Each structure stands twice: as structure tokens, then as C-alpha cells.
Amino acid sequence: MEKTNNVTEFIFWGLSQNLEVEKICFVVFSFFYTVILLGNLLIMLTVCTGNLYKSPMYFFLNSLSFVDICYSSVTAPKMIVDLLAKSKTISYVGCMLQLFGVHFFGCTEIFILTVMAYDRYVAICKPLHYMTIMDRNRCNKMLLGTWIGGFLHSIIQVALVVQLPFCGPNEIDHYFCDVHPVLKLACTDTYVVGVVVTANSGTIALGSFVILLISYTVILMSLRKQSAEGRRKALSTCGSHIAVVIIFFGPCTFMYMRPDTTFTEDKMVAVFYTIVTPMLNPLIYTLRNAEVKNAMKKLWVGRFSGRIMTNNYK
């Protein structure tokens, strides 16, 4: 059957149909997005200007912050603008690009979190061989692998959608283009595509979660042999990672490890993993990590002191 596509743009229903609610959401999510940008940029600046960048853990944390900025920027600015717009439209090409970006950066974040769990496993369970195993060359290859994995996943998702015919209607009950809401608009049977999409996303989400679960189980069991101070430091670091994993994988599991169906709760769940999680990541890693807090203090105290000395010499 020849593909027919009469749809040149899609219309979002958005988060709410209530004008007053949309105004409140505009203020709230504008604040959230600002926190995402400032918080993650602060972590990147702290890691890159200090000696933290030499540590594999902070090398990956820097990449996680960058991905968080990109991930939220795919959906948040458009959603914020649409909250005050009368017509919430997006072109067909723009929709496909947004779908690609959501899955590209989302999947890359999943792989980075998995690599960070492996890094903690090596650091705690094989401390004497840590710098040998996690040398810079291997870290670069692992990071490259996360980006390639995310790219391949998103290409598959987009390729499955663009080959479908869309002949109307063109209204998406969501605030951004995602696979399941877009599949509902295709004017053909999408059962097979839906199964492949779910299998693809589900395998990545479930597989990564199982690896993370095994890693942290082994880590926690090995802590029994550590000293009290060692256990405290390890639990502080791993606690941050586990918190991020829970708040990110929980919503993702709900959205993508199920058949090709949509629920009314999907939009609020999507808000959690596209906006709330990238906002919380800097807070979790900063508040629970003394090394990052000390590096931030040195960075900003040093700059502040430098400015005072410069002003005194003028």
C-alpha cells in the first residue's frame, strides 16, 4: 500500500484546557526549566574547572548534566510557550525531530546511569584496580557507547513512525510528540509497529534496570567488609545514584514497558521524567556529595575573592 500523508502539522492538546491552570503552569514550569539550566550548568562548570574532571565518577556526572539540559530542552521550551498560545501546533518535521530528541537523550541518559552504576561497582568492589579498569581511554569509549546506543534506539523509533500514513485527525493528546500518542493518529493498523516499539523501549528500560539492580545489590553486600567510614562514604554516593535511578526509571517503566495504549495520567508522568527529574538531579548529587559542595565553595569563593582583590587594586 502506498503511503499517503495529508498531515503537515499536529495540534497539541497541552497539559490543560483551563486558561487559569495554564497560566499557573507557565510560571511553575518556567521556574523549573530555569533551575534545570542553572543547576546542571553549575555542576558542569564545577566539574570542568576543578580537579573533579579527572575522576571517572564526575566525568560521567558532567555528561549526565549535559544530557539533562538537552533532554529537557527538547520538550520544555515548546511546552512553556504553548501554555500561553491559543494554537499549540508543531510541523510534521518538527514532530519527528522532537520524537527523535526525546528518545535519543532519554535513552542516552539511561545508558549513562548504567555506566555510572558500573563505575561505582568497580570503585567499591575493586578499589585497588579502579584507576586501571576505569582509565580515561575506557571511560571515553563507554561514554561514546552511550551516545551511539541512544542514537540507534531513537533512529529505530523514528523510522517506525515516519513510514506510517497520516491522513487526519491531527490532534495529539499530549504536550510533545511521543511514539504512542502519534501512533494513535496513523490511518492504518499499527499493532505490529506498537509491539516493536514497546519491545525496543522495554528491553532497554528493563535490561538497564536489571543491570542497575544487580550492581547496587552487589555493592551493598560488599559494604559489610568495609570500615564504618568507608560504608558511610559509599552509601552517600550510591544513595544519590539510587535516588536518581528510582525517580527516572519509575516513570519511564510506566510509559514504555506496556502495550501500545495511552492513559490520561501519561502527561503528568511525562512531566516527571522530562522536567522534574532533570531538575532534581543537580540537587541530589550536590546535597548528598561533600566533594561536589567543597569544589563549588572553592570555585565561587575563589572568584569572589579575586574580584575583591581586583577592585582593591583599582
pLDDT in tens, 97-139: 999 999 999 999 999 989 988 988 888 888 888 889 999 999 9
pLDDT confidence bin for 287, thresholds 50/70/90: low
**What integer pLDDT is reported at residue 310 of this predicted model?**
47
Q: Phi first, then psi: what are they for 83, rounded to 5°?
A: -65, -25
Could you give the CA distance from residue 308 to residue 300 in angstroms, rounded to a whole number?
12
pLDDT tops 50 at residue 179: yes
**What integer pLDDT is reported at residue 1 of this predicted model?**
44
pLDDT in tens, 34-85: 999 999 998 888 888 877 778 888 899 899 999 999 999 999 999 999 998 8
Could you give the CA distance from residue 179 to residue 176 in angstroms, rounded to a whole number?
10
**What integer pLDDT is reported at residue 212 of this predicted model?**
84
pLDDT confidence bin for 272, thresholds 50/70/90: confident
**What integer pLDDT is reported at residue 232 of this predicted model?**
72
pLDDT confidence bin for 189, thresholds 50/70/90: confident
**What integer pLDDT is reported at residue 288 of this predicted model?**
61
* Bigger pLDDT: 173 vs 239: 173
pLDDT confidence bin for 237, thresholds 50/70/90: low
User: How is residue 35 written as a grid cell?
Assistant: 533551575
Could you give the CA distance from residue 3 to residue 273 in angstroms, rounded to a whole number?
34
**What integer pLDDT is reported at residue 103 of this predicted model?**
94
Asked, as a colleague might, if the bond just before 169 is cis with ω within 30 of 0, I would say: yes
Strands (E), the chain: 9-12, 89-91, 171-172
**What integer pLDDT is reported at residue 229 of this predicted model?**
67
Could you give the CA distance from residue 12 to residue 181 in angstroms, rounded to a whole number?
10
Of the ranges 122-136, 142-156, 231-245, which one carries the lowest mean pLDDT score? 231-245
**What integer pLDDT is reported at residue 262 of this predicted model?**
59
pLDDT tops 80 at residue 90: yes
* Three-state DSSP state, 174: coil
The full set of domains in the chain, from first to last, is 9-307 (1.20.1070.10)
pLDDT in tens, 205-228: 888 888 888 888 888 887 777 777
Report the pLDDT averaged over residues 292-304: 66
Burial of 313 (0-12, 13-18, 19+ CB in 10 A): exposed
